[in-house]
Amino acid sequence: MSAARTVRRGAALGPGLAVLLAVLAAVAFLSVTQGSRDISLAEVWRALDNDGSINSTVTLELRVPRTLLGILVGAALGVAGAILQGVTRNPLADTGIMGINAGAAVLVVFAVTVLGVHGVGVSIWFAFAGAILATVLVYAIASLGREGATPVKLALAGAAVTAGLTSVTTGIVMTNINALNELRFWQVGSLAGRYAPVLTGVAPFLILALLASLGFGRVLNGLALGEDVARGLGQRVGRTRAAAFVVVAVLAGAATAACGPIVFVGLVVPHLARLICGPDYRWILPYSMLLAPIVLLLCDVVGRVVAAPDELQVGVVLGVLGAPAFVAVVRYGKLSEV
């Protein structure tokens, strides 16, 4: 791509990011104001003064941390999915399908139920360890044979590891009634009940990893041309993949520790980003970073509104809406190849 064409594309796509920021702000406003108790904009402004009213408590202690966490977790999952699809050159890769979420979840559940660990500040390290171990396991399985870790083998290995680890997680939880009550919402993926300590516990990891992820655009573009071409361009493919998987493990581990194993966001959102900005990862990553929290927060708001005064957990809503999207990706994957 010529320099002039690159400048023209940047001039066209740059305002799109501003539009997405505005959309994200609007969705965040809906997340704060809509639910079993509707809160008007005027009441939100009054709540900022912390006047001690019920609306003030609901806004400041429940909905604002929940919304901010949804933004960070959504951005983390969207970017992690985009990086995985670029590194593996597999359009069906994401942290759920590749077993990374399941690895983080199984060690978090083990820590809570067997070791008696409580608090996101401690469990997040188990989530990181589980995410890294699952990543290593998937790659080790997929690398067996002369072909090495091909996209198809990675997808199959990820599906197998996910199924196995999910079964272990379910077995641990189902044999412990206290754990079942404590983790039942977390296990399906939920933003409910995530207060300020959870947000502050994971925010530093997510913010640093998101900032680091923006530097992968150029190297992912090189990998998209094939390993031989990437090496010819001076890239160290092994180091690039290792660094990418470390960032993905941090993003997925922190997100899973906070909200449970949320699926489909990292699969679908990068394809939506490609439809808008094309195959350039320097744009796919920031577009995924904004599109993913929009999708996650919208699903969270839908879950609160359709089941009011109760609510459907965001993982359930994403499962219902994400399954058809997954089928569409499989059926029309050539429209947005990595």
Cα–Cα–Cα angle for 126, 62, 257, nearest 5°? 10
Residue whose tokens read 């072909």? 147
- What confidence category does residue 28 fall into, taking pLDDT thresholds of 50, 70 and 90? very high
- What confidence category does residue 330 fall into, taking pLDDT thresholds of 50, 70 and 90? low
Q: What is the mean pLDDT of residues 264-291?
A: 91
Q: What is the mean pLDDT of residues 45-62?
A: 68
Q: If we measure between CA atoms, which residue out of 244, 227, 226 comes closest to residue 84?
A: 244
Q: If we measure between CA atoms, which residue out of 240, 166, 255 comes closest to residue 205?
A: 255
Q: How far is CA 285 from CA 5, 26, 209, 217, 335, in A?
A: 20, 21, 12, 7, 18
pLDDT value for 204:
93
Q: If we measure between CA atoms, which residue out of 210, 211, 208, 186 comes closest to residue 198?
A: 186
What does pLDDT average to over the chain? 82
- What confidence category does residue 209 fall into, taking pLDDT thresholds of 50, 70 and 90? very high
Phi, psi of 87, deg, nearest 5: -70, -40
* Euclidean distance between CA atoms 228 and 65, whole angstroms: 46
When mean pLDDT is compared across 158-167, 170-179, 205-214, the lowest value belongs to 170-179
Higher pLDDT, 112 or 11: 112
| Among 75-89, 137-151, 184-198, 212-226, the range of highest mean pLDDT | 75-89
The two tokens of residue 62 are 């429940």
| Domains present along the chain, CATH in parentheses | 3-336 (1.10.3470.10)
pLDDT value for 53:
67
Q: If we measure between CA atoms, which residue out of 91, 85, 92, 130 comes closest to residue 109?
A: 130
What predicted TM-score, i.e. pTM, was given to this entire model? 0.86
pLDDT in tens, 69-90: 999 999 999 999 999 998 888 8
The two tokens of residue 333 are 């994957």
Residue 3 has pLDDT above 50, yes or no: no
